[in-house]
Amino acid sequence: MRMVDLIEKKRDGLELTKEEIGFVIKGYTEGSIPDYQMSAFAMAVYFKNMTDEERAALTLAMVESGDQINLSGIKGIKVDKHSTGGVGDTTTLVLAPLVASVGVPVAKMSGRGLGHTGGTIDKLESVRGFSVEMSSNKFIELVNNNKVAVVGQSGNLTPADKKLYALRDVTATVNSIPLIASSIMSKKIASGADAIVLDVKTGAGAFMKELRQAEELAKAMVDIGNNLGRNTIAIISDMSQPLGFAIGNALEVKEAIETLKGNGPQDLLELCIALGSHMVVLAGQSNTLDEAKQLLENAIKSGKALETFKTFLSAQGGDSSVVDDVSKLPTAKYKIDVLAKQSGYISNIIADKIGVAAMILGAGRATKDSNIDLAVGIELRKKIGDYVEEGEALVTLHSNKENIGDCINRVYESYTTSTEKINNPTLIYKEIR
């Protein structure tokens, strides 16, 4: 086989075989296919697309390019959740203990964040002592005992995706549905998931700004999962404004604790129950979504979900007393309210702009090597549809810096008010299965 022939074949819109796609990915990972040929190939895919079979073959080839995590030592069906990313997305912190508390094994492999806020690991590290360093045997033991554990990414997972993603980034080929879908799904499958629940975000704060695009991506990922024998479903949810109120690491842990206590923001709770219900059904712990929803709501009411969160934190060295006393979480030196300049109904909050404001305070990393400040972030005091009086707080900034004019300006640029009454945005647009 010659790479040039395969580029030509894709350029002309023909379908590649599983063997041909395997040849491309193996050659590129090993270095026998150079970047310039792979760039041309990615561009051909960008323009000519891929069939369902090609997408599944590409995903599998990327899974097989590196290590695959073996979770067979964990009893039960391992369901993983993946979000395409948004601003202040606290769902994992709530979902992991919530679904574990009703018997779904959660073996979560997570990373550090880049951008608005930290990743799940950064957030959890705001609990003193919490650690994600452990052997794979220990990880499996913790999931079997407590139904939930979070471990740092280790090993050489999907090296083909790492290399290809970096190449796509500099060749204007990131925004291709088959390439995005295979990239995300290869990582989930290599991490050992038996079944997958996807939260595909849409709106200003999301990767896929338009509902139509989000739907197309969701469908592509669901098809790949199902073609490769992983039961997969997707929810398309709103990211036109940040989820919940908190954006920032310790602030989001506090928000997750409140949600597990039943006092969390309505949108965060609703999304967690929707995603969680699918996880419970896919794991075989309920026959219907209604029954699953009931189980999860009861787990919050009875305190079982909160108890599971405590057990999970202690098992990984964390000080679980933060659950009863959230003042033990890192707190920022200054709390600064940003006040509304006029009265009216909040009609828009540009999520990605607010996200950048949080990053400037130090809640997220601008580059891979930036330091993160776990205590800082933004607490939204008003969301879309709320009425605000002139002089009332739009947000509260939690800062360790005094000089934050840039951040305040971005908050003002994010918020729009209207004299007309505004409805709350739809939270869940669709389910794709």
Chain contacts with ligand URA (rule: CB under 6 A): 165, 174, 179-180, 183-184
Residue 375's alpha-carbon distances to 129, 221, 296, 372, in angstroms, are 15, 35, 30, 9
Beta strands in 102-183 (DSSP E): 106-110, 148-152
Which residues on adjacent β-strands are paired with residue 149? 107
Which of the choices ligand URA, Ca ion, none does residue 225 contact, using the CB cut-off of 5 to 8 A by kind? none
Count of beta carbons in the 10 Å neighbourhood of residue 424: 13
Which has the closest alpha carbon to 268: 130, 430, 416, 87? Answer: 87
> Shortest CA distance to 214 belongs to which of 89, 86, 108?
86
By a kind-dependent CB cut-off of 5 to 8 A, residue 271 interacts, out of Ca ion, ligand URA, none, with none
Residue with Cβ nearer Ca ion (116 or 278): 116
**Pick 143 or 180: Cβ nearer ligand URA:** 180
Residue 244 sits in the site that holds Ca ion (CB under 5 A): yes
Name the minimum Å distance from CB 247 to Ca ion: 6
Greatest extent of the chain over all pairs of C-alpha atoms, in Å: 69
**CB of residue 143 vs ligand URA: minimum separation in angstroms?**
24
State the nearest-atom distance from the C-beta of 28 to ligand URA, in Å.
15
Chain position carrying tokens 């697309």: 49
Task: Read off φ and ψ for residue 284, nearest 5 degrees.
Answer: 80, 20
Q: Among residues 76 and 159, whose Cβ is nearest to ligand URA?
A: 159
Instruction: List, by residue number, the catalytic residues.
Output: 82, 161, 168, 183, 187
Residue showing the smallest CB distance to ligand URA in the complex: 183
Stretch that binds Ca ion, among 50-58, 85-93, 196-204, 230-238 (CB under 5 A): 85-93
Q: How far apart are CA 413 and CA 349, in angstroms?
A: 9
> Of 206 and 372, which has the nearer Cβ to ligand URA?
206
In the list Ca ion, ligand URA, none, the entry touching 184 (Cβ below 5 to 8 angstroms by class) is ligand URA
The yes or no reply on residue 177 touching Ca ion (CB under 5 A) is no
Choose the contact partner of 165 out of Ca ion, ligand URA, none; CB within 5 to 8 A by kind.
ligand URA
Cα→Cα distances 275→18, 98, 237, 281, Å: 33, 11, 10, 10
Least Å distance, CB 207 to ligand URA, is 6
In the complex with Ca ion, which residue's Cβ is closer, 42 or 256?
256
Q: Which is nearer to Ca ion, 125 or 252 (CB)?
A: 252
Alpha-carbon distance 50 to 40, whole Å? 15
Reduced to 3 states (helix: H, G, I; strand: E, B; else coil), residue 329 is: coil
| Binding-site size, Ca ion (CB under 5 A) | 4
Min separation Cβ 3 and ligand URA, Å = 21
Rule CB under 5 A: say whether 90 interacts with Ca ion.
yes
Rounded Cα–Cα distance for residues 428 and 306 (Å): 25
Shortest approach of Ca ion to residue 401 CB, angstroms?
A: 22
User: Which structure tokens are listed for 411?
Assistant: 């908050």
- Look at residue 88 and give the partner it binds from ligand URA, Ca ion, none, a contact being a CB closer than 5 to 8 Å depending on partner kind: Ca ion
Establish if 88 lies at the interface with Ca ion (CB under 5 A).
yes
Which residues contact residue 377 at a Cβ distance below 8 angstroms, ignoring those fewer than 6 apart?
Answer: 117, 246, 247, 248, 249, 250, 251, 252, 332, 358, 361, 363, 398
Binding partner of residue 183 among Ca ion, ligand URA, none, CB cut-off 5 to 8 Å per kind: ligand URA
Residues binding Ca ion (CB under 5 A): 88, 90, 244, 246
